[in-house]
Structure 1
Amino acid sequence: MEHGNALLLQVAVYFAAAVIAVMAAHKLGLGSVAGYLLAGIAIGPWGLKLIEQPEAIRAFAELGVVFLLFVIGLELEPHRLWSMRTRLIGLGLSQVVGSIVMIAGVALLFRVDMRVALVAGMALSLSSTALALQPLNERGALGTQGGQATFAILLFQDLAVIPMLAALPLLGESSGWSGFSWQGIGFAVAVVVGTLVLGHFIARPVFRHIARTRLREIFTAFALLLVLGIALLFEKAGLSMALGAFLAGVLLAESEYRHEIEAAIDPFKGLLLGLFFISVGMSVDFSVLLARPWIVVGLIVGLFILKSLVLWLIAHLARLPTSERPLFILLVAQGGEFAFVILGLAALNDAIPEPTAQAITLAVALSMLLTPFLLVVHDRFIAPRVVDPVERAPDQPEPGKVIVAGLGRVGQVVARLLNASGFHPTVLDDDPDHVEQSRQFGFRVFYGDATRLDLLRAAGADTADLLIIALDERESITQLARIARANFPRLRLIARAHDMRHLFELRDLGVEMVERETWLSALKLGETALAVSTQDPERAQRAARAFAEHDHVVQAKLYAVHKSAPDAHITVSNELRDQLKRTLAEDEAEVRGKLAP
């Protein structure tokens, strides 16, 4: 019980430090990452000493990076990843190799041992995925050319960690091929192939079966189990856990359950990612800084300068917009969390002296700590002064981003019309069998309850142009309209109404574009009936047209009454009905007068 209380006390300390530090950081305009890092320093061995052993949570905290890469993989469909292959290899390979050569070359000029120079070059060439992607997401810059270049380099770095770790035993004192194992290579290949098979042939049917049970907590549990299981397998095979999670996300990116999975994972990702940053802050060993201050400062300055030179050349050759280059360079120039792994394993294999590894580790940690503060400098002083020299040509107009909620009788017609017109909406529906059938006909349908705020965010409601509410239940339509209007004020809404009173209810919520679900079909049926009865199709068309125009007047007048004097609704309805009779009779008399000889 005492152990349980101690664990609860640690958890309470982490949460309290995170809440206080992040709120203070936002108040100062520093961003959440800086808050988490400062919280780690405050409660760690060099602060209030509330947590004495930061290593105890490091492995658990690294799951935040794992979940982050999984969610990013969910948003990157395989065909998009394949389309990035040139950028991935070109930019990523140039950055990693260029940084290693530059850093190792400068180290050799200072007469550093070749092996130490190579290990330092490999460790310092890497960047923090979490620290780079979080600011991009917060600024909405992940879709820009600079954001895509940053993501491609970070993804290649995750891939490059594998051969780096494999090379470390060869750089040790007992260098040779003793660290090489065909069995290990075979196991790693088997894990990758197994992940591909699991994601494509097994995971989706399991998600479909769980969705039919309508038990949301089981859906969340399996999503967490899938990510954790694949991450553990990749770690067992000596591969990057984050890379395994990313691969699993890519495989599920085309799944109909993609947005529901993302909504289930997102809260855990945010908490664990914050815990990771706290652990980085706690791991900063200031004793090394006090003992060798100029060496540590020199490493930090050299790291930013050398990597920035490489990144500036890459940005120039890749023709990134001038305004996006400073952020691109700043986010990739910092050190990364995988440097801790490489330096620790290198010291264990005697490829680098322990004091040197400690100094470089501290330099990497401090570079990560400095990055949020440098971002503030960038946002306030650099970004406003850096503009593209030539105004960019306007992009070709693309179809607006559209979300359709509900794929029943109404939603199907809406989605088919949009698809046929070149607009490809994101469709949400909570019937797994319906979703599976619709995807076979080419619809981009995803399973989930559209009235859930987290699912709407996962579907892109923050950046979408239009939400079409085509749900079947009246209460669900109203609930979704209320949620969308409250949380996405710039999102335009089109809603399906059951009747006139429901239309007024939606108008009261601020939904300006509302269509009654049976009105057009009823009008067409009435026109057909009148044409058959009178044997005069033209008269039927005139009557239907007059009725439609009259109905718009009715809507406006009844809505005004609904707002000012609800009790007068019946009286006004009767007056308007009599007015319609007179209008149709006058129209008929006028037509007959024109036809008379």
Structure 2
Amino acid sequence: MTGYFLQAFIYLVAAVIAVPIAKRLGLGSVLGYLIAGVVIGPIIGLVGEETTTIQHFAEFGVVMMLFLVGLELEPKMLWNMRNRLMGLGGLQVVGTTAVVMGLAMFFGQSWTIALTIGLIFALSSTAIVLQTFNEKGLAKTEGGQNAFSVLLFQDIAVIPMLAFIPLLALPELVAKAQLAAATAAEHHEELTLVAGLPGWAYGLVITASIALVVVGGHYLSRPLFRFVASSGLREIFTATALMLVIGIAALMSLVGLSPALGTFLAGVVLANSEFRHELESNIDPFKGLLLGLFFITVGAGIDFGILFNDFFLIIGLTIGVMVLKAAVLYILALIFKIKNSNRWLFTLSLAQAGEFGFVLLSFTVQNHVLPQEVAQPLSLVVALSMFFTPGLFILFDKVILPKFEQQSNERESDTIEEKGTVIIAGGGRFGQVVNRFLVSNHVNTVVLDHQADQVDSLRKVNTKSYFGDATRPDLLHTAGIEHAAMLVVAIDNQESSIELVKYVKHTYPKVKILARAFDRGHSYMLRCAGADFIESETTRSALEMGAEAMRNLGQHPFHVEQQKIAYKKVENQSSDKLYQAWLDDSEGERFDNNYRKLFIELEGTIKHAMSKDRSDKHNQSERAWTPPPKGYADDIDE
């Protein structure tokens, strides 16, 4: 028993140290787990032969992952993404598999081994790519969204791969396995429901098992989860979720099917369940821990002797696979008209092999499709390609993206054909709303933005805008700043917005300046620069959200409106004091002692105002809540 505790402690210590460091370095958690396994295995030698046994246990994390993937696949979402999902994703998997298979056969591999290798390298790393997209804010870009479609298709494609790969088993490997199994059978007999059944009976058992998962998941799971949820015990709900996943995996194993296939199917069936999110939150920690353990065992099982003996071959294979995948992805980006830097983001982000490659390699060895001497070098290729992925993102950030931005911004400023009563600096989401509101009320506007792509996007929806840097005095002059009544500052760069306000207020003091602030500190700097009116981009919407929350919690709408007015009143009364305290601090630090004291007082004042019982109930400032006059409805009818 002590040995198990020590082994568990070693694995956990390695994960706790390596994964946070890897994430800080931008390498991602998967690479962190792999590095942890490499350190405690081949380098230090703290773990050894038991890693294979642990890996079989940890593979249950893959089963849980596919259950969660199934939960995310709502039919409506899949239908909306069908073009990119089937087009980009399908062509990427088929194209990469075909190219890799062709090359493997050219170098003398049998078609079954070549096809298996092609399927393994067709997959990319969902964990690394999506995490990097989120960290770098690339998820909403055109390249990021197309890459997500491909990754989603790949995750779905793993299921038919797991069902298909056992059919490619090599007869000589099967014969060896049967001999080993016959020897082992004397000591251990594996449970099965289909041993010795004729083909027709085996087919019926499989059909019945799948039907049980689908029908039971649809009709029986909801009453079960409602019954468990009524107990109010979170741990029982967690136990139920685990029972469901483990039970389906066991059923699939008993009938000779992949446990991952069954749990994926169950996840899809439950995708529209009202308990979906609760299931996700309960299963996810177990999935993450087991998957992490699986990747540690992969790292611990890497044979560096093979790497050093065939160093140039493995490095060459790694680079070759990444170049081939990038070529297929780039061609697809051209076909689907993914443009500019998004094309390169799409190409480079998916050029590596993925974590499911380890899963499929382990699966192929277990099912006698790939010999161990072929699978070991391939696992090194998968791992190295994942290690190289952060370098591809650095290449995109430092070399490719600046090049396209420079080309975009080298475009000459547009010739401004009209003068505007209001000049709007910045055509982003904030500036667009202001512009639409003014234009719909017949106010002439001139919208300036220094992002060429943004200007082109606005023109596609018939919003007149001009490419150019609003901080340039000559462009402001051309836009008619001398005769404008107002300047709306909605540019994203905080420093540039402050400098623009300073320049316009000094040079054209009669022009009213309305500015968007990102936070309280930015609003103080804009006020100091001379802005006449400042609106925080989140304060008003956050207040409305809080009010809506109160209404949904059962508060009377009139009471909620009173609370909003009280909150705004206290904020407005305190704004001058807070601004002065901020000014008094020579360094402009937000949490200077005096400022912090006033801010804490403001919080107390707001709480007091919220709790005070209004005696007048309503006044003229709340006219919108005064009952309408008699005869109002009759006037409308007329």
Pairwise same-fold verdict (TM > 0.5): yes
Q: Structure 2 vs 1, CA of residues 108 and 50 (structure 1 numbering), >3 Å: closer, same or farther? A: closer
What displacement does 1:207 show?
0.8
What displacement does 1:496 show?
7.4
**Matched residue, 1:95:** 92
**Matched residue, 2:321:** 303
Q: 1:471-506, CA deviations, whole angstroms, 9 ceiling, x for partnerless residues?
A: xxxxxxxxxxxxxxxxx9998255779xxxxxxxx9
What displacement does 1:106 show?
2.0
- Give the number of equivalent residue pairs: 446
Q: Structure 2 vs 1, CA of residues 52 and 167 (structure 1 numbering), >3 Å: closer, same or farther? A: closer
Q: Does the 8 A contact of 2:353 with 2:382 survive in 1? A: yes
Report SS of the residue matched to 1:333: coil
**Matched residue, 1:161:** 161
Q: Which residue of 476, 492, 499 maps to 2:542?
A: 492
Q: How does 1:413-428 map to 2 (within 5 A)?
A: none
Give, in whole Å, the separation in 2 of the partners of 1:186 and 1:40. Answer: 43
Q: How does 1:231-310 map to 2 (within 5 A)?
A: 231-237=249-255, 239-310=257-328
Matched letter for residue 270 of structure 2: L
Is 1:126 the equivalent of 2:123?
Answer: yes
What displacement does 1:377 show?
4.5
Report SS of the residue matched to 2:353: coil
What displacement does 1:146 show?
1.9
**Matched residue, 2:26:** 29
Give, in whole Å, the separation in 1 of the partners of 2:618 and 2:153. Answer: 70
Report SS of the residue matched to 1:101: helix
Give, in whole Å, the separation in 2 of the partners of 1:380 and 1:276. Answer: 34
Report SS of the residue matched to 1:30: coil
Give, in whole Å, the separation in 1 of the partners of 2:614 and 2:317. Answer: 85
**Matched residue, 2:555:** 517
Matched letter for residue 542 of structure 2: R
Q: Does the 8 A contact of 2:63 with 2:259 survive in 1? A: yes
Report SS of the residue matched to 2:104: helix
What displacement does 1:521 show?
8.6
What displacement does 1:309 show?
1.5
Report SS of the residue matched to 2:43: coil
Matched letter for residue 230 of structure 1: I
**Matched residue, 1:393:** 457
Q: 1:236-280, CA deviations, whole angstroms, 9 ceiling, x for partnerless residues?
A: 555554444333233222222222222222322332332233222
**Matched residue, 1:152:** 152
Q: Does the 8 A contact of 1:99 with 1:310 survive in 2? A: yes
Give, in whole Å, the separation in 1 of the partners of 2:238 and 2:288. Answer: 15
Q: 1:193-230, CA deviations, whole angstroms, 9 ceiling, x for partnerless residues?
A: 32211221111111111111111111111112222333
What displacement does 1:51 show?
4.9
Report SS of the residue matched to 2:266: helix
Give, in whole Å, the separation in 2 of the partners of 1:516 and 1:76. Answer: 34
Q: How does 1:310-329 map to 2 (within 5 A)?
A: 310-329=328-347
Give, in whole Å, the separation in 2 of the partners of 1:229 and 1:142. Answer: 36
Q: Which residue of 96, 103, 113 maps to 1:106?
A: 103
Percent identity between the two aligned chains:
40
What displacement does 1:42 show?
1.0
Give, in whole Å, the separation in 1 of the partners of 2:366 and 2:173. Answer: 10
What displacement does 1:83 show?
4.0
Q: How does 1:368-379 map to 2 (within 5 A)?
A: 368-379=386-397
Q: Does the 8 A contact of 1:18 with 1:39 survive in 2? A: yes
Give, in whole Å, the separation in 1 of the partners of 2:368 and 2:614. Answer: 95
Give, in whole Å, the separation in 1 of the partners of 2:66 and 2:366. Answer: 28
Q: Structure 2 vs 1, CA of residues 173 and 203 (structure 1 numbering), >3 Å: closer, same or farther? A: closer
Q: Does the 8 A contact of 1:252 with 1:258 survive in 2? A: yes
Matched letter for residue 207 of structure 1: F
Report SS of the residue matched to 1:45: helix
Matched letter for residue 13 of structure 1: I
Q: Structure 2 vs 1, CA of residues 137 and 314 (structure 1 numbering), >3 Å: closer, same or farther? A: same
Is 1:230 the equivalent of 2:248?
Answer: yes
Q: How does 1:324-339 map to 2 (within 5 A)?
A: 324-339=342-357
Of residues 254-263 and 325-334 in structure 1, the stretch that sits farther from structure 2 once superposed is: 325-334
Q: Which residue of 46, 55, 58 maps to 2:55?
A: 58
**Matched residue, 1:219:** 237
Q: Does the 8 A contact of 1:21 with 1:38 survive in 2? A: yes
Matched letter for residue 18 of structure 2: A
Q: Does the 8 A contact of 1:92 with 1:157 survive in 2? A: no
Matched letter for residue 492 of structure 1: A
**Matched residue, 1:416:** none
Q: How does 1:185-200 map to 2 (within 5 A)?
A: 186-200=204-218
Structure 2 unaligned residues grouped into runs of 5+: 179-197, 409-451, 462-537, 575-600, 624-638
Matched letter for residue 98 of structure 1: G
Report SS of the residue matched to 1:276: helix
Q: Does the 8 A contact of 1:74 with 1:252 survive in 2? A: yes
**Matched residue, 1:410:** none
What displacement does 1:286 show?
0.8
Give the superposed CA RMSD.
Answer: 4.8
Give, in whole Å, the separation in 1 of the partners of 2:368 and 2:21. Answer: 43
**Matched residue, 2:433:** none
Give, in whole Å, the separation in 2 of the partners of 1:554 and 1:88. Answer: 48
Matched letter for residue 558 of structure 2: L
Q: 1:438-466, CA deviations, whole angstroms, 9 ceiling, x for partnerless residues?
A: xxxxxxxxxxxxxxxxxxxxxxxxxxxxx
What displacement does 1:43 show?
1.0
Matched letter for residue 145 of structure 1: Q
Q: Does the 8 A contact of 2:40 with 2:47 survive in 1? A: yes
Report SS of the residue matched to 2:46: coil
Give, in whole Å, the separation in 1 of the partners of 2:265 and 2:313. Answer: 39
Q: 1:133-190, CA deviations, whole angstroms, 9 ceiling, x for partnerless residues?
A: 4445555656653243223331343134145314313676889xx9x96665554444
TM-score normalized by structure 2? 0.58
Q: Structure 2 vs 1, CA of residues 347 and 202 (structure 1 numbering), >3 Å: closer, same or farther? A: closer
Give, in whole Å, the separation in 1 of the partners of 2:219 and 2:122. Answer: 37
Report SS of the residue matched to 1:275: helix
Q: Does the 8 A contact of 2:36 with 2:296 survive in 1? A: yes
TM-score normalized by structure 1? 0.62
Q: Structure 2 vs 1, CA of residues 282 and 512 (structure 1 numbering), >3 Å: closer, same or farther? A: same
Give, in whole Å, the separation in 2 of the partners of 1:218 and 1:151. Answer: 34
Give, in whole Å, the separation in 1 of the partners of 2:356 and 2:567. Answer: 67
Of residues 24-33 and 279-288 in structure 1, the stretch that sits farther from structure 2 once superposed is: 24-33
Give, in whole Å, the separation in 2 of the partners of 1:194 and 1:173. Answer: 34
Matched letter for residue 75 of structure 2: P
